[in-house]
């Protein structure tokens, strides 16, 4: 009898234990924040920068800046050997002076020819000279006038050439076209430049107070990205700081492969995914961001704060009703009930519940795996 009582008590305890266990995995419905994002990788570039080049050929005599220098507009950056341009300017000035002297001489001859012509005209009126002498005096005067016009045209041409050569002489001293930071230098003192066919680049000046993020967005996600959309990013430095901005522009076509390096983005990956370029600006007055940094970008497609949330694994789609789903709820008497809910913002893991669920309800998110029978005994 004692053994029988012990067995019955053990079986009862196991029965009550089995009754207290639920065959479902549940989660208490709570409020929280949700955000739907499009993620991408971008590269930081200064929004405003200029590549300073040399417009004349010659040897670099001196460079007056170093990478990292903060300079003002108009600062002398570099000097190129001015001897050849100076010699050309000197020759042009000498030629101009010679033409001026010829013009003065020709104007004197023209004045004398006019006097001769007037004298011949008076004598011809008195029938005191030959007609041939009158014609000769008139032709001499017209020839002198024509030579004056020719010399004046040569002077104008020489002056224009001289102005161009003086400009080239001025280009041997290179000044900063904008204020900013010298981010790179591509030339060295003593190097000889050849500006005959293309302008050689000496250095780059950038305004680092505002940076532009050139972002690669896949063709599957780019339709969700619009100008004016909120966007934020983190750098690869490992800190938790987050920079925020708004989308300025979505370029209508992907960049060409040969120009991808100059824009700071890649045209496509090795698996042939087409990437589109999205631009947005961010303030950098503290100087924490630097050119060519990699940015982990998140475009905020939709967001909601302090709303009812549910795991997407608990949602069962209702056919023919977009954004409407069925969910299972465990009631207080441990019965299963079905609710029809309407969702809002969704991510891969969670969804905003607009209606159909209340805070504090027990939401069934999965069925538990079958457990061994609680009635099995071994003796």
Q: How many CB atoms lie within 10 A of CB 330?
A: 16
| Residue 212: alpha-carbon gap to chain centroid | 5
Q: Give long-range contacts, CB 8 A cutoff, 24+ apart: 238-244.
A: 241/288, 243/282, 243/289, 244/282
What is the pLDDT, as a whole number, of residue 12? 55
Separation CA 344–CA 322 (nearest Å): 11
| Model confidence at 21: pLDDT above 70 | no
What is the pLDDT, as a whole number, of residue 371? 55
For residue 374, what are its two tokens?
A: 């609680």
What is the pLDDT, as a whole number, of residue 279? 96
Higher pLDDT, 14 or 149: 149
Strands of 186-335 (E only): list them. 192-193, 201-218, 230-235, 243-250, 275-283, 294-311, 316-317, 324-330
- Torsion sign across C-alpha atoms 353, 354, 356, 361: positive
Q: Are 110 and 148 in contact (CB under 8 A)?
A: yes
Assign a CATH topology to domain 42-46+210-302. Answer: Elongation Factor Tu (Ef-tu); domain 3 (2.40.30)
| Model confidence at 270: pLDDT above 70 | no
Residue with tokens 């950056």: 77
Residue with tokens 């020719």: 150
What is the pLDDT, as a whole number, of residue 314? 87
Confidence of residue 260 (pLDDT cuts 50, 70, 90): very low
User: Structural domain boundaries of the chain?
Assistant: 22-37+304-367, 42-46+210-302, 54-80+173-203, 83-170
- The residue among 371, 369, 366, 317 whose CA lies nearest residue 27 is 366
Tens digits of per-residue pLDDT, 231-250? Answer: 999 998 767 889 999 999 99
Q: Are 203 and 187 in contact (CB under 8 A)?
A: yes
| Model confidence at 375: pLDDT above 50 | no
What is the pLDDT, as a whole number, of residue 365? 83
What is the pLDDT, as a whole number, of residue 208? 94
| Model confidence at 370: pLDDT above 90 | no
| Residue 183: alpha-carbon gap to chain centroid | 16
pTM of this structure: 0.70
Higher pLDDT, 101 or 263: 101
Tens digits of per-residue pLDDT, 292-339? Answer: 999 999 999 999 999 999 998 888 888 878 888 998 888 888 888 888
What is the pLDDT, as a whole number, of residue 185? 94
CATH architecture of 22-37+304-367: Beta Barrel (2.40)
Tens digits of per-residue pLDDT, 179-228? Answer: 999 999 999 999 999 988 888 999 999 999 999 999 999 999 999 999 99
CB within 8 Å of 330: residues ≥ 6 apart: 22, 24, 26, 336, 337, 362, 363, 364
On the question of a common fold for 42-46+210-302 and 54-80+173-203, the answer reads no
Helix (H) or strand (E) holding 25: strand 24-28
Separation CA 116–CA 96 (nearest Å): 30
End-to-end CA distance of the chain: 18
Query: What distances in angstroms separate CA 325 from CA 29, 77, 336, 356, one per listed residue?
Result: 16, 67, 16, 10
> What is the average pLDDT score of the chain?
87
DSSP letter string, 334-349: S-EEEEEEEEEEE-SS
Q: Of the given ranges (41-50, 90-99, 122-131, 176-185), which has the lowest mean pLDDT?
A: 122-131
What is the pLDDT, as a whole number, of residue 262? 43
Q: Are 81 and 179 in contact (CB under 8 A)?
A: no
Tens digits of per-residue pLDDT, 58-102? Answer: 999 999 999 999 999 999 999 999 999 999 999 999 999 999 999
Q: Which CATH class is domain 54-80+173-203?
A: mainly beta
């Amino acid at each position: 009898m004692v053994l029988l009582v012990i067995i019955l008590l053990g079986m009862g305890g196991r029965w009550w234990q089995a009754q207290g266990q639920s065959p479902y995995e549940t989660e208490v419905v709570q409020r929280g924040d949700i955000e739907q994002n499009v993620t991408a990788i971008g590269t930081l570039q200064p929004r405003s920068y200029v590549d300073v080049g040399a417009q004349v050929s010659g040897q670099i005599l001196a460079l007056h800046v170093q990478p990292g220098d903060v300079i003002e507009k108009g600062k002398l950056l570099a000097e190129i050997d001015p001897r050849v341009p100076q010699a050309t300017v000197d020759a042009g000035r000498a030629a101009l002076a010679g033409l001026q002297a010829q013009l003065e001489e020709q104007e004197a001859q023209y004045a004398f020819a006019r006097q001769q012509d007037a004298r011949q005209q008076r004598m011809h009126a008195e029938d005191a000279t030959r007609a041939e002498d009158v014609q000769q005096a008139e032709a001499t005067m017209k020839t002198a006038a024509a030579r004056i016009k020719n010399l004046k045209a040569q002077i104008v041409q020489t002056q224009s050439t001289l102005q161009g050569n003086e400009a080239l002489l001025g280009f041997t001293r290179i000044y900063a076209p904008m204020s900013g930071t010298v981010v790179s230098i591509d030339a060295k003192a003593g190097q000889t430049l050849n500006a005959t066919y293309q302008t050689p680049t000496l250095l780059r000046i950038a305004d680092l107070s505002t940076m532009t993020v050139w972002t690669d967005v896949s063709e599957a996600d780019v339709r969700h990205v619009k100008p004016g959309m909120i966007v934020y990013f983190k750098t690869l430095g490992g800190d938790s700081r987050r920079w925020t901005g708004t989308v300025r522009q979505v370029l209508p076509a992907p960049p060409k492969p040969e120009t991808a390096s100059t824009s700071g983005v890649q045209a496509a990956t090795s698996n042939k995914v087409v990437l589109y370029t999205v631009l947005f600006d961010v303030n950098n007055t503290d100087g924490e961001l630097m050119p060519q940094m990699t940015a982990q970008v998140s475009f905020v497609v939709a967001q909601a704060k302090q709303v009812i949330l549910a795991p997407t694994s608990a949602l069962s789609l209702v056919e023919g009703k977009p954004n409407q789903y069925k969910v299972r709820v465990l009631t207080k008497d441990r019965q299963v009930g079905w609710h029809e809910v309407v969702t809002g913002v969704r991510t891969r893991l969670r969804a905003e519940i607009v209606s159909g669920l209340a805070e504090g309800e027990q939401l069934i998110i999965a069925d538990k795996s079958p457990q061994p029978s609680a009635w099995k005994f071994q003796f």
